[in-house]
Amino acid sequence: MPTVRSYYFAPLEGIADCYFRTIHASLFPNAKPDRYFAPFFTPTRDTVLSPRTQRELDPRNNRGLSLVPQILANDPERFLDAVRALSELGYREFNLNLGCPSGTVVSKGRGAGFLADPDRLDRFFDTLFSFPECRDAAISVKTRIGIRSAQEYPALLSVFCRYPISELIVHPRTREANYEGIPDLSCFLQTLLSFPGPVCYNGDVFCKADLNRLEASLPNSSELSLMLGRGLVSNPVLVSCLRDNGSLTREDLTRFSDALYLDARERLSGERHMLFRLKELWAYWAPLFDQETAKPFLSAIRKSKTMDAFRAATAALLSSCEPLPGAGYSGDGHLH
């Protein structure tokens, strides 16, 4: 059976901010991932770290966490600027985002959009690793397998293999696939066989059965890390479920829900803003329950227009329904 060395928390924009991370780590120390990856930021010539990015990456807001900043850049000079600024904050590992499929990101040739030009990507790394600060740092890469087709991946993988990338994190879908369809495990297997450094898998692991299917498709001798995103937001003890056959309880979710509510009440202004934030989280948690039994409660959560109504609906669900064993986020992102 393949060996999973480490578990990582993927950088989900709009969800996995510093407040979410610290609450998660404090409530579930036995299910804490080995590393959290921060949502990406884009350094510019005028502003390397915006006030929001400084707050997000401030070590005082991430105490007790092993945190990796993620940088969205297609200019090696801007990446270097970010490395220098983040080094002053104490960071020693930096992740390059080549995976974001957002149209606004891709249109600027960043994120997954950078994958359209392997020659330019090659020149980027050649320049990047010529800087002493980058040669001495751990620079990992999170990537997709191409823009339209998995046939693009061998050329990209060849580029990655030529440089001292500290770890290659692969989400084996194309940019056009977004989060739809089945991840292309043949491309991930190519990575395991060819890339000279550590490799991490990212994509559609929501429960133990998903991990078992992934492991069954890989060589017994392989070693990898596992990056969890939507699955870990849905099930905050997913790392324990995968590593130790743990399970999510109603009490776990109640504690998490209450803590995130108290945080939102303290930091966010306006009931509408709070409702949007908390309903977004319930879009991930809804699939944890038997849909027939939970249907009236989920409907009440969805239709709630005040925090009092929302809190009453979530309390009613959590007092009446237990998460199903092995249940997890379905991937559709909707509160049914």
**Tens digit of each residue's pLDDT (9 = 90 or more) over 41-57:** 999 999 999 999 999 99
Task: Specify the pairing of strand 35-37 against strand 67-68.
Answer: parallel
Average pLDDT over residues 83-99: 97
Amino acid at 259: A
Report which of 188, 234, 213, 208 is spatially closest to residue 10, judged by C-alpha positions: 234
Structure tokens at 70: 């993620």
> What is the radius of gyration, based on Cα positions, of the chain?
20
Structural contact between residues 223 and 189, judged by C-beta atoms closer than 8 angstroms: no
> Residue 257 pLDDT > 60, yes or no?
yes
Q: Residues 161-191: pLDDT tens digits?
A: 999 999 999 999 999 999 999 999 999 999 9
pLDDT at 330: 55
> Residue 334 pLDDT > 70, yes or no?
no
Report which of 253, 260, 217, 219 is spatially closest to residue 238, judged by C-alpha positions: 253
pLDDT at 268: 86
Structure tokens at 253: 């979710």
Confidence band for 332, pLDDT divided at 50, 70 and 90: very low
Confidence band for 1, pLDDT divided at 50, 70 and 90: confident
pLDDT at 245: 87
pTM to 2 decimals? 0.94
Instruction: Read off the DSSP letter of residue 34.
Output: S
Report which of 161, 326, 291 is spatially closest to residue 170, judged by C-alpha positions: 161
Residue that wins the pLDDT comparison between 329 and 68:
68
pLDDT at 333: 40
Report which of 189, 169, 16 is spatially closest to residue 99, judged by C-alpha positions: 169
pLDDT at 335: 32
- Whether the CA torsion 303, 327, 236, 321 is positive or negative: it is positive
Q: Residues 17-43: pLDDT tens digits?
A: 999 999 999 999 999 999 999 999 999
For the sheet containing 70-71, what is the strand order? Answer: 67-68, 35-37, 3-9, 223-228, 199-202, 168-170, 138-143, 93-98, 70-71
Structural contact between residues 190 and 160, judged by C-beta atoms closer than 8 angstroms: no
Structure-token match 């479920």, residue found:
241
Instruction: Read off the DSSP letter of residue 15.
Output: T
Q: Kindly give the residue spans of alpha helices, DSSP state H, lying in 268-324.
A: 271-285, 291-303, 307-320
Average pLDDT over residues 290-315: 95
Structure-token match 């803590």, residue found:
259
> Residue 215 pLDDT > 50, yes or no?
yes
Confidence band for 329, pLDDT divided at 50, 70 and 90: low
In percent, how much of the chain has pLDDT > 90? 88
Structure tokens at 279: 């309903």
Structural contact between residues 169 and 145, judged by C-beta atoms closer than 8 angstroms: no
C-alpha span between 35 and 37 (Å, rounded): 6
Structure tokens at 33: 């991932």
C-alpha span between 102 and 230 (Å, rounded): 16
Average pLDDT value over all residues in the chain: 93
Structure-token match 């990992």, residue found:
140
